[in-house]
Amino acid sequence: IDKFVGDSIMIFFGDPTSRGQKEDAFACVSMAVEMRKHMKIMRQKWRSQGIKTPLEIRMGISTGYTTVGNFGAENRMDYTIIGKEVNLASRLESLAEPGEILISYETFSLIKDRIMCRDKGEITVKGFGRPVSIYEVVDFRRDMGPNRSFLEHERNGFAMYLDSEKITERERESILSALEDAAERLRQEEDS
């Protein structure tokens, strides 16, 4: 985590240590997807506590060469990151809808084999000679289709988020019991 700017968080990967460009990009997008999933769970909790307009997040991610280091004067030094890729990530974040993760083509090319994305066309960005192709992060490919570990279902009065990979054997029984109780209650209300 580099810094907080207003209600934004700036985070960068690859410095001071890197696992390689591909793994750094995947770690960054994975973090974004996990943050989005966790926010859905938090929103459900807040709704149950009576908070009508819960917090929404949006994210922008870019990959490329930047300058990282200590900037400023001796009495006000800041270890941070600067460059056009930082500006592009900020622009993508401001273009994203609530709950959306937008990434640059460079990021997409590094993570597309493990993360499903949707083409969102091109945008013009100051500092870039050509239009920039952008993509929306959908989800981990492993979480798509019938064998996915993460399920969600939300309706007025009902919210369920299930991440089966994170459930222990002990928790499984408790969750099954709660689901069976909920199903029974819904059936009783349907019959009356």
Which residues are within 8 A (CB) of 186 and not within 5 positions of it... i.e. 6 or more apart? Answer: none
Q: What is the pLDDT of residues 131-155, one digit of tens each?
A: 999 999 988 877 666 666 667 777 7
Q: Work out the burial of residue 123: count CB atoms within 10 Å of its CB; fewer than 13 is exposed, 13-18 middle, 19 or more buried.
A: middle
Q: In 158-184, which positions are buried (b, 16+ CB within 10 angstroms) versus exposed (e)?
A: ebeeebeeeeeeeeeeeeeeeeeeeee
Answer CATH for 3-142 from 3.40.50.300, 3.40.50.880, 3.30.1360.20, 3.30.70.1230? 3.30.70.1230
Residue-wise pLDDT tens digits, 87-129:
889 899 989 999 999 999 999 999 998 898 999 999 988 878 8
Only one residue has tokens 């994203």, namely 96
Assessment of whether the complete model's pTM goes beyond 0.75? no
Indicate whether 172 pLDDT > 80: yes
Question: Above 80 in pLDDT, residue 184?
Answer: yes
Give the pLDDT of residue 44: 81
Tell me the per-residue pLDDT of 36-49, one tens digit each, with 9 for 90 and over. 988 888 888 888 88
List C-alpha distances in Å: 66 to 85, 86, 89, 131. 7, 8, 12, 19
Q: What is the pLDDT of residue 168?
A: 85
Q: Where in the chain is the domain with CATH 3.30.70.1230?
A: 3-142
pLDDT at 135: 95
Structure token digits, residue 112: 């597309």
Identify the pLDDT of residue 60.
Answer: 95
